[in-house]
Amino acid sequence: MGILVIGQDDPPTRQLQGALAADHLLAFPALAAPGDSWAWGWRDDLERWERQAAELGRFDSVVVCCWDAVEVAVQFVDLSPRAWLEHLERRLALWMIAAKVGVGRCADGGSLVMVVERPAALDTLGRSALVGAAEGVLSLSRCMAASEGRRGVRVNAVATELWTVPDELLGPAPALTSFPGRVDAEVAGAVRMLLSDDAVGVTGSVSTPDGGRAA
């Protein structure tokens, strides 16, 4: 029981784990690098990880961190096949399998939160792969909310804008000067709220702790 965090074993995910006082971090597997072809050469790694993760116990709360901290924006027409594989196809596959593991590890009556980087519309130039993958994750959270409600499991999402803030912001400034916020404050707060009993009637929702940037 307690809180399980599933995600990359990196500082931001560790920071979120700490802020939530989560008991356990289930780290994503190290996947073989994409090859020169379109073949998913890393399928075996992912399937092995999924089988191992299924042996974990159940948790009251599960957080699946779908963060891909790519700092360089690249226009769609300039994306290499390798970058497309890495930042869209591989990410979506990994995050879908992680979500599947998360649902399986979430106890009846529990709560699951998917966390993903999804910049506001004005900040998406050069982010086609990341935004595509993020919208996929948000859709998946809605699907899981619909399927897991029958056993009392709530599924929600938190959409962050932490690493994709452009050097120069278009349009009006975010409402809060704290934008883009911090993992251990704004992001952890939204996740904590959705995991808590205060959100007992909330499922299938997306919380956007971005200081009003996407408003």
Partner 1 sequence: MTPDPPSKTDPPSKTILISGASGGVGRGIAVACGEAGWTVWLAARRRPEGDAVAAEVDRAGGTGRFVACDVADADSVQAAVDTVIEESGRLDGLVHNATSGYSSIPRSIGDVDLDEIEDQVAVNLRGLYLLGTAAFEQLRLAGGSVVVLTSEAGFEGKPLLPAYAVAKAAQRGIVRVLAREWGSSGIRVNCVAPLSSSPAMDRYFEDPVNKARVLGRIPLGRLGDPHADIGPAVRFLLSDDARFVTGQTVMIDGGSCPIT
Exposed, middle or buried by CB within 10 Å (0-12, 13-18, 19+), for 6? buried
Interaction between residue 35 and partner 1 (CB under 8 A): no
C-alpha to C-alpha distance for 64 and 212, rounded to whole angstroms:
23
Q: Which of 3, 140, 190, 194 binds partner 1 (CB under 8 A)?
A: 140
Interacting residues with partner 1 between 81 and 120 (CB under 8 A): 81, 84, 88-89, 92-93, 96-97, 99-100, 103-104, 118
Strand, helix or coil for residue 5:
strand
What does the block give as tokens for 50?
A: 């999924």
Q: Considering only 28-36, 60-68, 128-136, 174-182, which stretch makes contact with partner 1 by CB under 8 A?
A: 128-136
Check whether the bond before 180 is cis (ω within 30° of 0).
yes
C-alpha to C-alpha distance for 99 and 213, rounded to whole angstroms:
27
Interacting residues with partner 1 between 42 and 81 (CB under 8 A): 43, 46-47, 75-77, 79, 81
Strand, helix or coil for residue 48:
helix
Residue count, binding to partner 1 (CB under 8 A): 46
What does the block give as tokens for 101?
A: 């593991």
Q: Which of 2, 33, 139, 152 binds partner 1 (CB under 8 A)?
A: 139
Residues making contact with partner 1 (CB under 8 A): 38, 40, 43, 46-47, 75-77, 79, 81, 84, 88-89, 92-93, 96-97, 99-100, 103-104, 118, 121, 124-129, 131-140, 142-147, 204
